[in-house]
Each structure stands twice: as structure tokens, then as C-alpha cells.
């Protein structure tokens, strides 16, 4: 079932709607049209008590004044590009919204806009957005669509689709910050990532081009371990970022590529995706100043993100899996988040 109500309005006076998707298992997902944002996900814990497993904001004021992309759809290019790229012999200078050096999350091309929405079925919501040529410096008028579907097995499926009238890089994702147990931080969350390698970065969080083995490093999550176990190691990659803010090169195979488990609540999150990478971000830059839901200030490591994606700065790294799509050729991708509980 899907219901609709008004969430608020932007500073510019645009109306923002909120849609609540629910199933018969008691799982509920709230999505707002500003940024095609997953506002809340309420799931039951091992005692049958429902709780919101996302950190974020209760109001439009929070989203517009304090947001670090909590729950938002990111596009046309998720993650970072090192300020420019060359395509078909033309150099495109991008807006540099991070440190005046890099382009992060397309400078809000998708996340800071109000999307159009239609209820496509009793468990499916479709949102769409048109963005003009040269937005944030990217070539091509682009149509983006994101479809959210909530199933009876407590899976939330997100389908991404985009097509432009010029060749352009496309790399869409969702930027939800998970906190499965409602704890002050997520350092005790047990995480498993099916990835043998990751992409180390320079001081501006741009990949160096190296694909480095996780073997013997703090980045080895191939066996379950707590996020906080190695996060304070004296590894230059962790020190630079204040924790994990890195792309993992996902292994191919059936089943979940990532699993997160919170022992206190018993909640389990499994991630399935057809994308080659996933950015693990552990909320390193949350500093306790942003008032989140219920007025609670979001502290460092208050949530973790699992941003399924092509690798960062792909247009400048020809050895990475490529994501430049010719005019009229569609970008299509699917990521599924499945929720369950277990004891112990």
C-alpha cells in the first residue's frame, strides 16, 4: 500500500510530497520528492518492535540547511570526479563543490531538486527528473528515473534509469545513512563485504588509479567484523578520511554482496546489486552540529552508507569499468536492500 501527504516546501516555495510504502509484515518506507529521498525505513527488531533505521531530518529545513545527502538519490554522477574530464576530444570543466577542487555528487544535480512522482502500483513508486545540458558542467540534457518497490519479503528494490541526448558519464546511487540499532554510533555494526580489493585515494579522496588488495589491511571485510574494529588504525587511507570513505571493488557472484548485522536489535541488512563497486562511508564528517530526527545531533559515525556505484572518477581512469553512455543509450541499474532479524 502507498499513501501520500504533504511533507513541506522548499525555500523557493515548491511543494514537497511524502509517500509511505508499507507491506503486511509491518515494514514502512517513507520517500519524499525532494531529492527522491528515502526519508525513513521502519523495520521490526528481534523483539518485534518497529524502529527507523535511517538517520536524517524531520523537516525540509533540515534537508536544505544541514544535509550531507542523507537518503538522497545521487546523479547524474555519484561520488567524485577530479574537477574535469575529456570526452571525444572536448574537455569539460565541472563545478567544484568540494574544497574548490573536486566535483562531488554532481553538485546536487539530482539531490537538490524536486522530482515528479507517480504511484505506479500498490507497492511501486516512480520518480522522474529532467536536467538540462551543462548542469554542473556535464554534457547532455538528461532524463533520470528512479523506481522504488517494497516487497513482502521486506526487500526495498531501487531501479535506476537515465538517458541523455549527448554522450555523458552516468552513475546513480542512493545515499542512505543506516543505523540499524538506533545507537549513538555504528562502530559495533558487524559488516561483511564481498570484495577482494578497493580503490585507494589521494588527499582529495580521488582514486589514485590503483586497485589494491584488501588482504592484510583494515579494508578486509570478507569475513564479518565490526566496523569499528580497525577504523582507528594508523593507515594513511583511514587517517586522511577519518574512517572509511572508499570504493570497494565488488566480487561477482550470486547472493548478497554486503551484509550488515546489529547484535543489539538483531536487525540484518543485505545488499544485492548489479553495480561493480560500493562506497563504504562511515559518517566521518558528521560533527554533532546538524540537528537530525527528533532534534538529536548527528555525531561522527552516527550512520554508515553503502553507495552502490561505478568507481569514483571513472572518466579519468580508463582501466576502471566505464560508465560513459552514448547519446540515446540508457543507463540501467538495480540495487536491493533486504531487511530481516536474527538472534545472536
Question: Could you tell me the three cell numbers for 193?
Answer: 563485504
Q: Is the previous residue joined to 185 through a cis bond, with omega within 30 degrees of 0?
A: no
Question: Could you tell me the three cell numbers for 36?
Answer: 527522491
Q: 214, exposed or middle or buried, with CB in 10 Å at 0-12, 13-18, 19+? A: middle
Q: Which of 63, 105, 175, 301 is catalytic?
A: 175
Q: Are 45 and 266 in contact (CB under 8 A)?
A: yes
According to DSSP, the residues that pair with 178 across neighbouring strands are 54, 304
Q: Are 210 and 198 in contact (CB under 8 A)?
A: no
> What residues contact 273, with CB distance under 8 A and at least 6 apart?
250, 257, 308, 333, 334, 335, 336
Cell 546523479 belongs to residue: 75
Rg of the chain over all Cα atoms, to the nearest angstrom:
19
CA dist 157 and 141 (Å) reads 26
Q: Which of 28, 109, 270, 307 is catalytic?
A: 307
Q: Are 99 and 285 in contact (CB under 8 A)?
A: no
Distance of CA 36 to the CA centre of its chain: 12
The number of beta carbons lying within 10 Å of the beta carbon of residue 218 is 18
Q: Are 167 and 326 in contact (CB under 8 A)?
A: yes
Cell 567484523 belongs to residue: 225
Is 175 noted as a catalytic residue in this protein? yes
- Would you name the residues annotated as active-site residues? 175, 307
Amino acid at each position: 500500500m502507498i499513501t501520500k501527504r504533504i511533507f513541506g516546501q522548499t525555500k523557493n516555495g515548491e511543494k514537497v510530497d511524502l509517500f509511505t510504502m508499507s507491506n503486511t509484515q509491518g515494514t514502512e518506507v517513507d520517500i519524499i520528492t525532494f531529492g527522491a529521498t528515502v526519508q525513513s525505513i521502519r523495520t521490526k527488531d528481534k523483539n518485534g518492535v518497529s524502529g527507523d533505521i535511517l538517520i536524517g531530518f524531520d523537516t525540509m529545513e533540515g534537508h536544505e540547511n544541514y544535509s550531507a545527502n542523507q537518503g538522497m538519490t545521487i546523479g547524474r554522477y555519484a561520488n567524485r570526479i577530479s574537477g574535469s574530464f575529456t570526452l571525444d576530444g572536448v574537455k569539460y570543466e565541472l563545478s567544484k563543490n568540494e574544497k574548490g577542487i573536486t566535483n562531488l555528487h554532481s553538485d546536487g544535480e539530482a539531490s537538490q531538486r524536486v522530482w515528479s512522482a507517480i504511484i505506479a502500483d500498490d507497492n511501486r513508486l516512480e520518480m522522474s527528473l529532467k536536467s538540462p545540458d551543462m548542469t554542473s558542467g556535464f554534457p547532455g540534457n538528461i532524463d533520470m528515473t528512479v523506481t522504488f518497490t517494497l516487497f513482502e519479503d521486506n526487500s526495498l528494490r531501487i531501479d535506476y534509469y537515465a538517458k541523455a541526448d549527448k554522450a555523458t558519464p552516468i552513475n546513480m546511487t542512493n545515499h542512505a545513512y543506516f543505523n540499524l540499532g538506533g545507537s549513538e554510533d555504528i562502530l559495533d555494526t558487524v559488516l561483511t563485504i564481498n570484495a577482494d580489493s578497493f580503490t585507494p585515494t589521494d588527499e582529495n579522496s580521488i582514486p589514485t588509479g590503483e586497485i589494491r588488495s584488501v588482504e592484510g589491511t583494515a579494508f578486509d571485510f570478507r569475513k564479518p567484523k565490526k566496523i569499528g574494529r580497525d577504523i582507528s588504525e594508523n593507515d594513511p587511507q583511514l587517517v586522511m578520511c577519518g574512517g572509511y570513505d572508499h570504493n570497494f571493488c565488488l566480487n561477482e557472484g550470486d547472493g548478497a554482496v554486503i551484509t550488515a548485522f546489529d547484535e543489539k536489535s538483531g536487525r540484518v541488512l543485505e545488499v544485492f546489486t548489479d553495480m561493480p563497486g560500493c562506497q563504504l562511508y562511515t559518517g566521518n564528517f558528521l560533527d554533532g552540529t546538524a540537528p537530525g530526527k527528533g532534534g538529536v545531533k548527528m555525531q561522527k559515525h552516527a550512520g554508515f552508507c553503502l553507495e552502490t556505484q561505478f568507481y569514483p572518477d571513472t572518466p579519468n581512469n580508463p582501466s576502471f569499468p566505464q560508465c560513459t553512455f552514448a547519446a540515446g543509450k540508457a543507463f540501467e541499474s538495480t540495487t536491493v536492500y533486504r531487511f530481516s532479524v536474527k538472534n545472536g
